[in-house]
């Protein structure tokens, strides 16, 4: 069996000078109002309980459920179940714990992002504003570009009459996927409005369809903050120094006889332990090829200077782009 060499590179942010359109202030005001209205995860809010049913392709199963108990951005607990996969996560102050019975499906991280969709756009520069129509509703669509990532633009469409975010679209590079999130059927909650239906499309195909089964105020049970058995601890501290790659041998992937060699890129997450070794390799986004066991083993040979909270080394996750040659 042949082995095709791959190159892997850390995601690097490049910088570009901001470019503001003539209608930038008005567009930013519309976006800020929409985000504030949808942001149910504000620290000043009362504790909440969120129950979500979702459909996402995963092995032979596609139906899953997510439970979230939220007190603040550094005090929360969640559980995801889909098929025979189980994952329990929690954060208590600077410490984050994750326990799972096997590597997480690709779409789990994207589901979390989908539910926390009301992002702060103060760090994005307005490039263009236009009118559009979504499901018969006239919307204001703002094209934005990250200040720290050159060439990656997002388009957020808002219903100006209700201040509801209708959609957000962007191109992930790599692997050059067209992503689009859709939000509908907003309901009132704690002075906010949150969608009952959330959907993620990749290259025009629905990969996550989520329905909010229950959203209500609920006391936060302190017992949820006890780390589950087998959980891996991570830290999120102010001024944290991130892991730095020291040794990056090129990984390889097996190619079966008679099959075309895979081309393109795949985004992978590496869990870096306190000694700088890699313990876990997971796909974190769609890509042009899957990772074979041999490729995962090669990536586990990488060595890092671990992330640091002050003088203490801590476990962290690093995203890399694996590109076929």
211-235 confidence digits (pLDDT tens): 999 999 999 999 999 999 999 899 8
Secondary structure class of 25 (helix, strand, coil): helix
H and E: helices and strands count for the chain: 3, 22
Alpha carbons 95 and 75: distance in angstroms, whole number: 10
- Let me know if residue 231 belongs to a domain: no
Alpha carbons 97 and 236: distance in angstroms, whole number: 11
48 shares a domain with 130: yes
Q: How confident is the model at residue 14 (pLDDT cuts 50, 70, 90)?
A: very low
164 shares a domain with 53: yes
196 shares a domain with 282: no
Alpha carbons 286 and 282: distance in angstroms, whole number: 11
**Predicted structure pTM score:** 0.81
Which of 225, 258, 278 corresponds to the end of one domain? 225
257 shares a domain with 196: no
The CATH code of the domain that includes 212 is 2.50.20.10
163-213 confidence digits (pLDDT tens): 999 999 988 766 677 899 999 999 999 999 999 999 999 999 999 999 999
70 shares a domain with 118: yes
21-65 confidence digits (pLDDT tens): 336 788 888 888 999 999 999 766 789 999 999 999 876 678 999
Q: Which structural domain, as residue segments, surrounds residue 303?
A: 2-12+237-324
Residue 253 CB contacts under 8 Å (≥ 6 apart), including other chains: 3, 4, 6, 262, 289, 291, 292, 294, 295, 324
Which of 185, 202, 225 corresponds to the end of one domain? 225
- Let me know if residue 19 belongs to a domain: no
- Let me know if residue 230 belongs to a domain: no
Q: What are phi and psi of 293, to 5 degrees?
A: -60, -35
């Amino acid at each position: 069996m042949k082995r095709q060499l791959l190159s892997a590179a850390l995601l690097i942010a490049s910088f570009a000078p901001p470019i503001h359109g003539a209608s930038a202030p008005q567009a930013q005001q519309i976006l800020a109002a929409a985000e504030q209205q949808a942001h149910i995860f504000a620290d000043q809010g009362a504790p909440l309980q969120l129950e979500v049913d979702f459909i996402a392709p995963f092995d032979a199963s596609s139906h899953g459920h997510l439970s979230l108990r939220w007190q603040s951005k550094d005090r929360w607990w969640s559980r995801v179940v889909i098929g025979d996969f189980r994952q329990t996560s929690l954060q208590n102050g600077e410490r984050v714990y994750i326990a799972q019975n096997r590597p997480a499906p690709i779409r789990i991280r994207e589901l979390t992002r989908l539910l926390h969709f009301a992002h702060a756009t103060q760090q994005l520069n307005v490039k263009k504003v236009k009118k559009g129509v979504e499901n018969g509703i006239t919307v204001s669509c703002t094209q934005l570009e990250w200040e720290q990532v050159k060439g990656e633009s997002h388009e957020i469409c808002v219903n100006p009459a209700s201040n509801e975010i209708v959609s957000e679209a962007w191109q992930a590079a790599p692997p050059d996927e067209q992503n689009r999130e859709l939000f509908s059927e907003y309901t009132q909650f704690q002075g906010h409005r949150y969608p009952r239906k959330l959907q993620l499309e990749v290259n025009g195909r629905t990969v996550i369809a989520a329905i909010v089964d229950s959203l209500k105020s609920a006391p936060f049970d302190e017992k949820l903050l006890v780390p589950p058995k087998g959980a891996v601890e991570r830290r999120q501290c102010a001024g944290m120094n991130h892991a730095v790659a020291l040794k990056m041998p090129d990984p390889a992937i097996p190619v079966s006889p008679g099959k075309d060699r895979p081309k393109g890129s795949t985004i992978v997450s590496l869990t870096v332990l306190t000694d700088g070794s890699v313990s876990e390799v997971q796909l974190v986004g769609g890509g042009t090829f899957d990772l074979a066991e041999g490729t995962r083993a090669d990536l586990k040979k990488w060595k890092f200077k671990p992330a640091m909270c002050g003088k203490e080394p801590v476990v962290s996750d690093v995203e890399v782009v694996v590109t076929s040659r």
